[in-house]
Amino acid sequence: MCDGAGLAELAEEHGTPLYVYSAEQIVYRYGLFEAATWNSMGERRHTVCYSVKANSSLAILKLLGDRGAGFDIVSGGELARVRKVCKPALKRVVFSGVGKQAWEIDAALKAGILIFNVESEAELALLGERAAKLGAKARFALRVNPDVFAETHPYISTGMSEHKFGIEIGLARAIYRRAAKNKSLNAAGVSVHIGSQIRSVEPFRAAMERVTGLIAELRGDGHRIRYVDAGGGLGIDYSDAAFDPAAEVARYAAAIGPVLGDTGLHLLLEPGRFIVAQAGGLLTRVLYVKKNGAKTFVVTDAGMNDLIRPSLYQGHHEILPVTLRSGAETTVDVVGPVCESADFFARDRVMGAVKPGELVIVLDAGAYGMSMSSNYNSRTRPAEVLVKGKKARVVRRRETVKELMGMESV
């Protein structure tokens, strides 16, 4: 089941592979951040800016935008998605990313977004130029690199000096000082993001301590810093271990809230994975069960083009038969039909026996599943359904092969 909807019935009606999301779980996770105590000394102004890159489904963005969420974007395309579903939310948009182009900056300035997270002095100069040309004043926060180590996969660690992200924290004061001379720029905040899928709260605390120290110096220099962006990165558990999301958010808030003290700063948060990952699963049908020597392979109709995390990040996802039946558990590789040895969801996984034609669900696939999918091997991407209670509706239909070739010419 996904809430009140049966997975077998969803597969029968909509086909497989199929992404299935729980609206109830998404709203619940968002609400945890809204309700958390971010200041031990009383209420703190804060905005939860959902990280669009985790899952950019229009239906999910609308679900969150209608509840007052802000959005963390990294491209002009993501800005357009927010505009389409919830124009008032444009005022709650934070624009991050290391490679903003002039047209993207222009679009964000015209939309009147909340703030730009600037990642280089060259980008700051371009932001000033575009704002001057449009007769606007651009609010910005430098994304500083606090050089804090967070134990996570190297591909999603971003807070060290060796990474492409951010500006060395020791250089920030001089950059803010130079920016103050540009009448088209408004130094409104400081931003930090140290990585993704981080399970310990200590790195977040350490990063925030360094950032608040910088803000005190900047305010002493005369800058009116009003926002602090703590980024995202709070991790989930992809295993079958017990996981209490409310307790995790409480630990996170208890780690960074007291550091902010009585600064009066408006806190910006950028959760993505934590909100949607465990709210979604990839439903797929077994095509074949085959043996090669001592190995047993369960071949499904979903592949690495549908969910690339296991191949790209060695990400672990629990995989369960949709219908439990008697029979001994077996050790198998769960693989897809894509012509790559990297096309797998699990290797040497102990799971309940399945037969061709039966369904399995790849859990915790709501984040970085569909948003990172592709058409490799000219495969059409899955449909997506959003479940509310017992009702499910298609929020993205399945692609057709004709559509894949629609932009090509011979």
Residue 58 tokens read as 């229009």
If one counts the domains in the chain, the total is: 2
Rounded CA gap, 75 and 170, in Å? 28
Examine residue 16 and state whether it is found in any structural domain, yes or no: no
37-82 pLDDT, tens per residue?
A: 887 656 789 999 999 999 999 999 999 999 999 999 999 999 999 9
**Statement to judge: residues 369 and 328 lie in one domain:** yes
- The CA-atom distances, in angstroms, between 191 and each of 139, 159, 174, 226, 231 are 12, 12, 16, 11, 7
Helix (H, G, I), strand (E, B) or coil at 221: coil
Residue type, 58: L
2 is catalytic: no
Highest mean pLDDT among 19-33, 191-205, 315-329: 19-33
Examine residue 2 and state whether it is found in any structural domain, yes or no: no
Examine residue 404 and state whether it is found in any structural domain, yes or no: no
**Statement to judge: residues 355 and 247 lie in one domain:** no
**Statement to judge: residues 106 and 193 lie in one domain:** yes
- Domain end, chosen from 214, 248, 277, is at 277
**Statement to judge: residues 387 and 338 lie in one domain:** yes
More confident residue, 166 or 189: 189
Residue 145 has pLDDT above 60, yes or no: yes
Q: Beta strands 280-292 and 70-73: pairing type?
A: unpaired
**Statement to judge: residues 287 and 222 lie in one domain:** no
Examine residue 330 and state whether it is found in any structural domain, yes or no: yes
**Statement to judge: residues 250 and 292 lie in one domain:** no
| pLDDT, position 388 | 98
Rounded CA gap, 392 and 212, in Å? 45
| pLDDT, position 324 | 83
Whether the CB-CB separation of 389 and 403 falls below 8 Å is answered with: no
Chain centroid to Cα 327, Å, comes to 38
Under the banding of pLDDT at 50, 70 and 90, the label for residue 150 is low
**Statement to judge: residues 52 and 73 lie in one domain:** yes
Average pLDDT in the chain: 94
Mean pLDDT on 135-142: 98
Examine residue 7 and state whether it is found in any structural domain, yes or no: no
CATH of the domain at 66: 3.20.20.10
Contacts for 12 with CB less than 8 Å, ≥ 6 apart = none
| pLDDT, position 326 | 77
**Statement to judge: residues 223 and 288 lie in one domain:** no
364-391 pLDDT, tens per residue?
A: 999 999 999 999 999 999 999 999 999 9
CATH of the domain at 286: 2.40.37.10
* Alpha helices for 112-200 (secondary structure H): 121-134, 172-179
Residue 160 has pLDDT above 60, yes or no: no
**Statement to judge: residues 371 and 254 lie in one domain:** no
Under the banding of pLDDT at 50, 70 and 90, the label for residue 148 is confident
Quote the Cα angle for 76-92-127, to 5°: 50
- Domain end, chosen from 238, 254, 277, is at 277
Examine residue 407 and state whether it is found in any structural domain, yes or no: no
- The CA-atom distances, in angstroms, between 87 and each of 61, 62, 217, 249 are 11, 10, 36, 28
Residue 5 tokens read as 């909807």
**Statement to judge: residues 145 and 212 lie in one domain:** yes
More confident residue, 152 or 329: 329
- The CA-atom distances, in angstroms, between 180 and each of 96, 139, 140, 214, 215 are 21, 12, 11, 16, 15
3-state SS of 357-407 is CCEEEECCCCCCCHHHCCCHHHCCCCEEEEEECCEEEEEECCCCHHHHCCC
Examine residue 6 and state whether it is found in any structural domain, yes or no: no
188-245 pLDDT, tens per residue?
A: 999 999 988 999 999 999 999 999 999 999 999 999 999 999 999 999 999 999 999 9
**Statement to judge: residues 219 and 365 lie in one domain:** no
**Statement to judge: residues 228 and 329 lie in one domain:** no
Examine residue 155 and state whether it is found in any structural domain, yes or no: yes
Mean pLDDT on 80-97: 98
- Domain end, chosen from 224, 250, 277, is at 277
Residue 21 has pLDDT above 90, yes or no: yes
Rounded CA gap, 301 and 283, in Å? 10
Tracing tokens 């009448």 back to the chain, one arrives at 183
Rounded CA gap, 85 and 90, in Å? 10
Share of the chain above pLDDT 70, in %: 95
Which residue range forms the structural domain that includes residue 194? 22-277
